[in-house]
Each structure stands twice: as C-alpha cells, then as structure tokens.
Amino acid sequence: MANARSEILSRIREALKVVAPKPHFKSEPHGNSAAQNAKPWLPDGGATMTARLDLLTENLAKLKANLIRVPDATAAQQALQSIAQAKHWKKVAYHSHPLVAPAVEALLCEKWEVTSSFDKQKLEACDAGVTSCEAIVAQLGSILVSSVSSGGRSLSILPHVHVVIATVDQVTADLEGCFSDMLARHGQKLPSMLSFITGPSRTGDIERILVLGAHGPKELYVILVG
Amino acid sequence: MSNAKEIFLKEATTAAADGPQRIFINKALGGYYANRDIQKARFRDWERARDAASLAKWEAVNDLANTLETFVTKFESNGGKVHWARDAEEARQIMLRLIAAANAKAVVKSKCMTTEEIHLNDALEKAGYSVVESDLGEFIQQLRGEAPYHFVFPCMHVKREEISALFTKHLGTAATNSPEELTMIARRHLRQLYVDADVGITGANFLVAETGQISITENEGNARLTAALPRIHIALSGIEKVVKKLDDLSVLLPMLATAGAGQPMTCYNTLYSGPRKPGECDGPEEFHLVLLDNARTQLLADPEQRDSLHCIRCGACLNVCPIFKNIGGLAYGTTYQGPIGSVITPHLRGLKQWNHLSGASSLCGACTDACPVRIDLHHHLLHNRRNANQTSPTLFDRLFHRGFNFVISRPRLFALGGRVFRFTLPVLKKIPLPYLSAWLKTRDLPSAPAQSFRQQWKDSSHG
C-alpha cells in the first residue's frame, strides 16, 4: 500500500499548482496592525477594566449564568456557602487551588478533592464542581478553563452545577488577547485541554426551543473576587 | 436521469407540497433570524469580520500542504497520533483498527458530519460495536433511523410529540410535551453511556497549525464528555479544516456561533492538544486524529470553486435558502444539505449524478450574502451547471443548442420562425405542451406582440 500521507500531500501540491486569486476586499481586514488590539471590527471587549466588568456582567446575564461579585476570599467562601445551602448540596467536588480549596473546605456538606485516577461514577454523583479558571473574556462572557488549572477535563462538565472562582484581574477584554496570554503563559507546553465555557450547557434541538443543561451543567456560577 | 435525481425530484415535490411542515420549519428559523441579527449587530463591523474570516481560510487552504505538515508535526509532538485516509473506506478501516486494538466494546460519539460522510456508524455496527450518538439532535435521528435533516440542526423537522413517542418506544419513558423534560430524558439516558464507553469519537471544527490543537465547537457539553471520560479519543477531520494561527480563531469562533446559531459564542469551544499529560488528573490515554481527503483534493484542484473548502459548516446558507426552506433537508439525499451541499456534493460524489442539485436554486444569492467566509455559493451553482453541460450534456441540451445555433445564424429563417410563432401562439396557449405544461401550470404565457422586435426597431426613428 502506498503511503497515504505522501499521496495526499502530493495530490494537494499538484492541485495547488493552479493559483486561486487572493480575495479582494474593500477594506484591509488586518486593521491597524500597530495597535495591540488589531481587530476593531469584532464585538467590543471594553477599553478599561470598568468597561470590561460592565460588559461581562451584561453578557453573563444574557447567557443565564450567575455572576456574584465579592470583595475578598472570605466573602467568596460565604457566597459559596449560601449557594450550597440554598441548593441543598450533599456532595461537592473540587480541585486544589489557593482560591478554590479554602472556600470549599469551609462548606458543611461532603467535600471531595479530585486528584489523579478518580472514580468517574463518583464525580457524576456530585451536586457541584468548583474550579478556578485561566481567564474570563469580557467580550463574549466566556470562562476559559484548562485541564491544568481547573482540575482536569471532567470536573467542569460532569457535575450538575459548575462554580468558577476567579479574581477580577483574570478578566481580559477579548479572545485575541486571551489567546496571546495563553501562548505567553504556557509556551510550548499547552494544557491538553483548553475550553471556553460560555454560559451553562444548552440545546435548541427540540423545535429550536432553548433548554439549559443538555449534557453539561444546568447552572453556572461565577464568583468574582476583588 | 440519475437515480439520485429521480429520488430528489420525488422527495422535493412531496416536501414542498407539505404546507404545515413548511410553516413549522419557517417558525423554527424565525427565532434564528432574530437572534442572528442581534449578535451580528454586536460586531463593530460584520463585513470586515467576514473579510478577515475569509482571508484566514484562504491563507490556509492555498498553502494546504505546508499548513497540514506544520500542524501534524506539532500535533504529534504533543503526544497525539495522526492517520491519513485517502477515502471513506480507508478512514473506516483505520478507525475500526484503532477500536479493535483498544479492545473496546462501547463507543460514544459526539456530533461529526464527517463521520456521516463516511457512514461510520454502519461500519461500526456491522463490526459488532454499540455506537451511541450523544448530541441530542443526532441521538433523536439515530433512534429514528434517519439521516440528519440539517447539518447543524439535525432534527429541526421533528415535532415534540414525535420525540416523546420515540422516547417512549425506545427508552420506555412516559409521554411528555415539554422540550425541557424530553432533553432531561436524553441526558439521564446518555450520562451512564459516557462513563461506560471505552472509545469517544468526535469531529473537529478547526485544526490549528501553530499549536497542533484541534478545536471543537458545541452547545450541549456532549463533546466535552466524549473527550474526557473514555480511555481513547479518536477525532475525524477533513484536511481542509486547518488554519494557520491560534489567533485566527478569535475571528472564526464568534463568527461560527453568530452565523450558525445566532449566539455570541457557542457554549463550549474546546482546544485539545493531546492525550492526558503528566500532572493532569484525567483525560484519555490515547488521542488519534484521522485526516480525510475523500475527494477534497479534487475540489482543491478547481481554482474557481476552491473557496468552497473555506466552509466552516455553520449552516447559515441553509437557513436563508428558499429551496431549503421549501423542500427541507432530507430531499437532498446528501450529507451536506442546502447551497453548500449542492456546490460540493458534485465534486465529492460525481458531477453527473449530483448536478441536479445545482439546478435546485433560484440563484437569489441569499446564501452568498449569509456566508461568514464569503464563499461565492450561487455562482458556484452556475459553474456546476456549466461544467455539467460541457462534460456530459443531455440529449435535449445537445439538440436544443444545435437547433438554436442553426436558426440564429440564419436571419431569414429566424424571422420566419418568429412570424410563425406569433401567429400560432394563441392556439399553442390552449393545448398542453410537453415540458412546458409543468411550468405553465402556475404561470400565464404572455401574448405575442403584433410585430417582431426587429420590425419595431426598423419602424422607429432608429431604422
């Protein structure tokens, strides 16, 4: 059998011998490349921190995610406690992170720290998963979690409620800035999973009617410290 | 007439005559239009965003060999394994081999049109594996034993009562009229299957050459679960999905969400760059990616229509297409429906058998206007019609054009013909004519003028 890789690549090279004209645009899509934010035609991400936080608040509300602003770690712990009580949580999964662990450990219900080789079935039975995140994107209301910073791949998707605890300085303006931050932070060693979470899990597959909690969390809480 | 064409004509005629169903589809799309417009307005300049999206795809597709090689090197350095498949059969064999090597029993799948393209489920079931579609729409279609109706909204044509009856029949659940409850039934049913599956199969929306990541876009979280819980993750992707830079996604992800479903961003946009890494507490042990050609390189070889490989499968062209809205998605008989399906299917599966789809268009251009990556869709439908005519004209086309040539190049004969036609038209209007009667069933033939155009011209001051 001939090598499929070399055969496909040579088919491609053969096909591309005839050049297709570069698309012609009325305007230059690259924008002002000198500026840091060179995509002034995408949705706005907010120029100042105040603008970003306003945008984030608005976007999360539209996405039916719950944003809770708190001044410090103690208040974050209280906020988490009151959600746990209101929702009658029995078991909460979390991962060890300086923002997350102290808040969860103060809860009165059963707590379970997700470490290597955990039982999937046990995680599925948890009422909530509490994680930190890599960044929050104001432009879209997206929370970026990773397999490194957020307790692996399952913790933010398998339990029925997802709570993110983050600090205000993790809020970035837009996707573009977020990508360059990620490349700068992780370099060649990117986490095996980076996931932008934009609101609680949803579907419109039945008559295009919105239902939350299709397969992932039905509720998403963001506790923002600072 | 090709078999595909015969089926198409029959199905399209039936679907177009189903008034209530058309109203149902249009109502479902109404919500999409409203949300799409709200999200488009949030872009500071949607047209320039389209330029950027189209340029990002142009740069990758027109340097496809190098971009793919960069991607593959990077992907494998992250610990994943790439497999190349020249066609559907090779892709199926590779995936069957991987699943057999894993000693797997149960396979869970997230939505992936490319697996529909290669009819993977049939092959897996024949080999004795249980395969479950986990996307709600795909799950419903799998239970119905029907192909997806729309490649983004697979079961948009199915009413909630039918879904309720379907779940009662297959899952033994009580009847309900609530989309919320129906969704929860599927959720409960599928959760255990993720936990038990040995292999998870996903598609890929983008492959990022710069970082060797694959990007998956979804709303439900089923792809996240599929790539988190099973021991082995296998992704299948067409070779054209690659983009050069991670930053290209800062344009493409929001545009895919807005054009595809009227959202600012799809609920989960996830980048995978390998199996579980040291220090990570879960994730698959193995990560395989199957890169599929399956005639994409033939489409690439046509510079005129090469931009149809820019497609990000958002489905916006289906949602605005008057043909799709009237005949629905099943009549096409293709994996990819609507305008983009009509453009690419003749390349992927043969122009002679599938050219009729390019005729099923009003050429209104709504698809081209809707396309976030500016594919010149309605012109490509014309290109397909022209190419079909050049390579395999029908007997009618050949005779008609020969006759037309003969008459038009003989002015006296042309004038005589015109005169005969003008005199006989009142009679012709009264008798049913072959070919024309279908067209005239809903239209009036205009009356002929007293004089020919050439005579009028001569009589006027120009003469």
- Nearest-Cα distance to chain A for B277, in Å, is 6
Query: CA–CA separation, A214 vs B181, rounded Å?
Result: 11
Confidence of residue A30 (pLDDT cuts 50, 70, 90): low
pLDDT of residue A34: 45
Q: Which residues of A touch B271 (CB under 8 A)?
A: 190, 193-195
More confidently predicted of B113 and B425: B113
Tell me the two tokens of residue B41. Answer: 């307005």
Q: Which residue has the tokens 């996240």?
A: B224
User: Is A17 within the bounds of a domain?
Assistant: no
pLDDT of residue B267: 98
User: Is A12 within the bounds of a domain?
Assistant: no
Tell me whether B45 touches chain A (CB under 8 Å). Answer: yes
Q: Which residues of B touch A26 (CB under 8 A)?
A: 47, 51
CATH of the domain at A174: 3.40.50.10420
User: Is A8 within the bounds of a domain?
Assistant: no
DSSP labels, A91-106: EEEE---TTTHHHHHT
Average pLDDT of chain A, as a whole number: 92
Asked whether the predicted pLDDT for residue B300 surpasses 70, the reply is yes
Query: CA–CA separation, B312 vs B216, rounded Å?
Result: 12
- Nearest-Cα distance to chain A for B155, in Å, is 7
Confidence of residue A28 (pLDDT cuts 50, 70, 90): low
Asked whether the predicted pLDDT for residue B138 surpasses 60, the reply is yes
A142/B269 CB distance under 8 A: yes
Select from A32, A158, A206, A219 the residue whose CB has the most chain B CBs within 10 Å, as the one to mutate to test that interface: A206
Q: Which residues of A touch B190 (CB under 8 A)?
A: 215
Tell me whether A184 touches chain B (CB under 8 Å). Answer: no
pLDDT in tens, B263-292: 999 999 999 999 999 989 999 999 999 999
Do the Cβ atoms of B296 and B240 come closer than 8 Å?
Answer: yes
Mean pLDDT value of segment B420-425: 89
Asked whether the predicted pLDDT for residue B443 surpasses 90, the reply is no
A174/B250 CB distance under 8 A: yes
Do the Cβ atoms of A191 and A160 come closer than 8 Å?
Answer: no
pLDDT of residue B1: 66
Q: Which residue has the tokens 């662990």?
A: A101
Query: CA–CA separation, A160 vs A124, rounded Å?
Result: 8
Confidence of residue B237 (pLDDT cuts 50, 70, 90): very high
Cα–Cα distances in angstroms (integers) from residue B76 to residues A2, A147, B215, B228, B234, in the given order: 21, 19, 16, 19, 14
A118/B282 CB distance under 8 A: yes
Average pLDDT of chain B, as a whole number: 94
pLDDT in tens, B317-329: 999 999 999 999 9
> Which residues form the domain of A73?
45-225
pLDDT-above-90 percentage for chain B: 85
Tell me whether B46 touches chain A (CB under 8 Å). Answer: yes
User: Is A37 within the bounds of a domain?
Assistant: no
The region of weakest confidence among A146-150, A208-212, B55-59, B396-400 is B396-400
Nearest neighbour of B276 by CB, restricted to A39, A180, A192: A192
Cβ within 8 Å of B, A 110-169? 114-118, 120-121, 124, 140-142, 147-148, 151-154, 157-158
Asked whether the predicted pLDDT for residue A90 surpasses 70, the reply is yes
> CATH 3.40.50.10420 region(s) of chain B?
43-294
Number of domains composing chain A:
1
Tell me whether B180 touches chain A (CB under 8 Å). Answer: yes
Query: CA–CA separation, B376 vs B44, rounded Å?
Result: 24
Sign of the CA dihedral with B404 first, then B410, B416, and B419 last? positive
pLDDT-above-70 percentage for chain B: 99
- Provide the number of CB pairs (under 8 Å) joining chain A to chain B: 291
User: Is A140 within the bounds of a domain?
Assistant: yes
Q: Which residues of B touch A143 (CB under 8 A)?
A: none
DSSP labels, B7-37: HHHHHHHHHHT-HHHHHHHHHHHHHHHHHHH
Tell me whether B130 touches chain A (CB under 8 Å). Answer: no
Tell me whether B282 touches chain A (CB under 8 Å). Answer: yes
A20/B303 CB distance under 8 A: yes
The region of weakest confidence among A163-177, B245-259, B408-422 is B408-422
Looking at residue B72, the DSSP 8-state letter turns out to be: H
CA B101 to chain centroid, in Å, comes to 33
- Nearest-Cα distance to chain B for A70, in Å, is 25
pLDDT of residue B341: 97
Count, residues in chain B: 463
How does B51-86 read in b/e, with b if 16+ C-beta sit within 10 Å? bbbbbbbbebbbbbbebbebbbebbeebebebbbbb
Q: Does domain B43-294 have CATH number 3.40.50.10420?
A: yes
Cα–Cα distances in angstroms (integers) from residue A194 to residues B57, B208, B227, in the given order: 22, 13, 12
The region of weakest confidence among B163-167, B286-290, B390-394 is B390-394
ipTM (interface pTM): 0.95
Cβ within 8 Å of A, B 196-235? 211, 213, 219-222, 224-225, 227-229
Cα–Cα distances in angstroms (integers) from residue A207 to residues B38, B177, B296, in the given order: 20, 12, 33
B227/A95 CB distance under 8 A: no
What 3-state class would DSSP assign to B108? strand
- Nearest-Cα distance to chain A for B422, in Å, is 48
Asked whether the predicted pLDDT for residue B389 surpasses 90, the reply is no
Asked whether the predicted pLDDT for residue B463 surpasses 60, the reply is no
Pick the closest to residue B231 from B283, B289, B192, B279 (CA basis): B283
DSSP labels, B301-356: T-TTTGGGGG-----HHHHH-HHHHHHTTGGG-SSS-HHHHHHHHHHHH-HHHHTH
Tell me the two tokens of residue B168. Answer: 């009662």
Sign of the CA dihedral with B64 first, then B116, B231, and A111 last? positive
CA B235 to chain centroid, in Å, comes to 19
User: Is A19 within the bounds of a domain?
Assistant: no
User: Is A151 within the bounds of a domain?
Assistant: yes
A158/B51 CB distance under 8 A: no
User: Is A3 within the bounds of a domain?
Assistant: no
Select from B265, B287, B293 the residue whose CB has the most chain A CBs within 10 Å, as the one to mutate to test that interface: B265
Burial class (CB in 10 A: 0-12, 13-18, 19+), B357: buried
pLDDT in tens, B6-16: 999 999 999 99
- Nearest-Cα distance to chain B for A77, in Å, is 25
